[in-house]
Amino acid sequence: MSLDLDFVRSQFPAFDHGSPAFFENAGGSFACRQTVDALTNYYTHTKVQPYASYAESATAGDQMDSSRQRWAEALGVATNEVNFGPSTSQNTYVLANAFGQVLGPGDEVIVTNQDHEANTGAIRRMAERVGATLHEWRIDPATGVLDPAGLEALLTGTTKLLAFPHCSNIVGQENDVAAITALAHSAGARVICDGVSFAPHGIADIGALGPDIYLFSLYKVYSVHQGLMVAQNGITEALPSQAHYFNEGYPEKRLTPAGPDHAQEASAGAVLDYIEATHHHHGGTGNLRDAAAAVSELWQDHETALLQPLLESLASNTKVRLVGPDSTGSSDQHRCPTVAFVPLEQSPEAVAQALVDHGIMTSHGTFYADRVLEGLDIDPSRGVVRVSFVHYTSIDDVTKLIAALDTVLA
Ligand SMILES: Cc1ncc(COP(=O)(O)O)c(C=O)c1O
């Protein structure tokens, strides 16, 4: 069964009046119609303080609760393990503060240089502040890939925390979250996994993968501008509450103290209606977790088919250095369609602009992954060009991109 792209694109208002060749999805995706409708509905009918007894308020609260329940089902976790916060950066900042209250001299913390700064910057500063020892699990300088053997060498009996990405927003290759988490857990460490770059390509079973914390940004997953954070394995209670003292008894407030954006939280579950509709359209049945798993597979099969010719084109072009693996990989080394490259004879800025002039929506920079670029010996002040796509991208878009690249890089 392959993804029905006409059906998919009919679910996105961005395609109502044209066919944009959008290749900056790793920055933020288009929102599906269900998300847009839910926001409009909230602002039109229930824009009041939620959880009071009058009808509009009760409905608003029900919608917020429903988003949490539905996301929990889709992610294979308990409802009170799902937290919404203003963004992933904000969620990791608060987390680092919480860990800073329990870690100190003699404790060890491991971060990677494959992460977006949001997943390790605050943790690095926290470790320095409290006197914990910080280790960096480093990428292969040629490929950008993280080898679990490197992690094994860093883990000790006093490692308390590991932070790593499900997938880098520059390198694109998926890391084996279950295996890495099991390794860190066997050493007694807690695990934070940044799923921001992976989630647009797959709604994973976070309960089965097992990290104590799993974060992603809903605005990259066809939804609202909120950060979603799963906190499981009892970590919510194990860490000091960051909420107002009278809210400590509410698990969903302990690690996300900011007042919720009611409309966005109420609308956060609507993208799951889209995922369910996709599942049913393709003949699927079962619960929301079944739908998430099946639709993720449809998305990835479609993306992988489109990614291979793009990687082949860039890998064979002598005028660029392709970042990350040059093939879509075997099934256990899935590569997401986030493709960065360094032009060797022009600046990334000039190439990105030339692509824009050819109708390709893309850009250049470090994408807050400066440490990844440094680890690959790429000058962050020049950056890279990044082209990223998702399941609603068509083969025509990719063909247009490859043709534009051939012209621009000639
Ligand atoms: C891999 C990755 N992690 C974390 C973040 C930060 O997410 P947010 O914008 O929600 O703070 C981003 C944002 O681009 C990202 O790409």
> Is there a single domain that holds both residue 240 and residue 311?
no
Residue 277 within a domain: no
> Is there a single domain that holds both residue 27 and residue 44?
no
Structure confidence at residue 133 (pLDDT): 98
The phi, psi pair for 115, rounded to 5°, reads -85, 150
3-state DSSP helix/strand/coil percent for the chain, to nearest 5? Answer: 45, 15, 40
What pLDDT, in 10s, does the model give residues 241-284?
A: 999 999 999 999 999 998 899 999 999 999 999 999 999 999 99
For the chain, residues with pLDDT lower than 70 are 330-332
Q: Euclidean distance between the first and final Cα of the chain, in Å? A: 38
Residue 182 within a domain: yes
Residue 279 within a domain: no
Angle at 263 between CA 232 and CA 84, to 5 degrees: 15
* Residue whose CB lies within 8 A of the most ligand 1 atoms, among 196, 198, 228, 373, for a mutation test: 196
Residue 119 within a domain: yes
> Is there a single domain that holds both residue 174 and residue 318?
no
> Is there a single domain that holds both residue 83 and residue 180?
yes
Counting from 1 in the atom list of ligand 1, the atom nearest the Cα of 28 is: 14
Give the CATH number of the domain where residue 398 resides. Answer: 3.90.1150.10
Structure confidence at residue 329 (pLDDT): 72
Structure confidence at residue 64 (pLDDT): 98
The DSSP result for 390-401, as a single string, is -TT--HHHHHHH
Residue 190 within a domain: yes
> Is there a single domain that holds both residue 211 and residue 195?
yes
Is residue 53 within a helix (H) or strand (E), and if so which, with residue range? none
Structure confidence at residue 332 (pLDDT): 60
Of 271, 306, 323, which closes a domain?
271
Counting from 1 in the atom list of ligand 1, the atom nearest the Cα of 227 is: 10
* Residue whose CB lies within 8 A of the most ligand 1 atoms, among 90, 197, 226, for a mutation test: 197
Pocket of ligand 1 (CB under 6 A): 87-89, 116, 118-119, 165, 169, 194, 196-197, 217, 227
Structure confidence at residue 331 (pLDDT): 54
Atom 4 of ligand 1, nearest CA residue? 118
> Is there a single domain that holds both residue 163 and residue 56?
yes
Domain that holds residue 402: 5-31+288-409
> Is there a single domain that holds both residue 234 and residue 316?
no
Which are the contacts of 325, defined by CB distance < 8 A and separation ≥ 6? 143, 145, 171, 172, 173, 311, 333, 335
Residue 356 within a domain: yes
Residue 283 within a domain: no
Structure confidence at residue 185 (pLDDT): 98
Of 204, 239, 271, which closes a domain?
271
Q: Which long-range contacts (CB under 8 A, 24 or more apart) does 271-279 make?
A: 271/32, 271/34, 271/35, 271/218, 271/221, 271/222, 271/223, 272/70, 272/71, 272/74, 273/34, 274/11, 274/32, 274/33, 274/34, 274/35, 274/222, 275/74, 275/203, 277/11, 277/34, 278/7, 278/8, 278/11
Angle at 188 between CA 184 and CA 189, to 5 degrees: 55
Of 240, 271, 302, which closes a domain?
271
Structural contact between residues 75 and 232, judged by C-beta atoms closer than 8 angstroms:
no
> Is there a single domain that holds both residue 61 and residue 23?
no
> Is there a single domain that holds both residue 71 and residue 194?
yes
Give the CATH number of the domain where residue 174 resides. Answer: 3.40.640.10
> Is there a single domain that holds both residue 174 and residue 265?
yes
Domain count, the chain: 2
> Is there a single domain that holds both residue 224 and residue 354?
no
* Amino acid letter for position 267: S
Is residue 165 within a helix (H) or strand (E), and if so which, with residue range? strand 159-165
Counting from 1 in the atom list of ligand 1, the atom nearest the Cα of 197 is: 1
Counting from 1 in the atom list of ligand 1, the atom nearest the Cα of 167 is: 1
Residue 207 within a domain: yes
The phi, psi pair for 187, rounded to 5°, reads -90, 0
> Is there a single domain that holds both residue 56 and residue 182?
yes
* Residue whose CB lies within 8 A of the most ligand 1 atoms, among 92, 146, 169, for a mutation test: 169
Q: For residue 372, report the distance from its CA to the centre of ligand 1, in Å.
A: 14
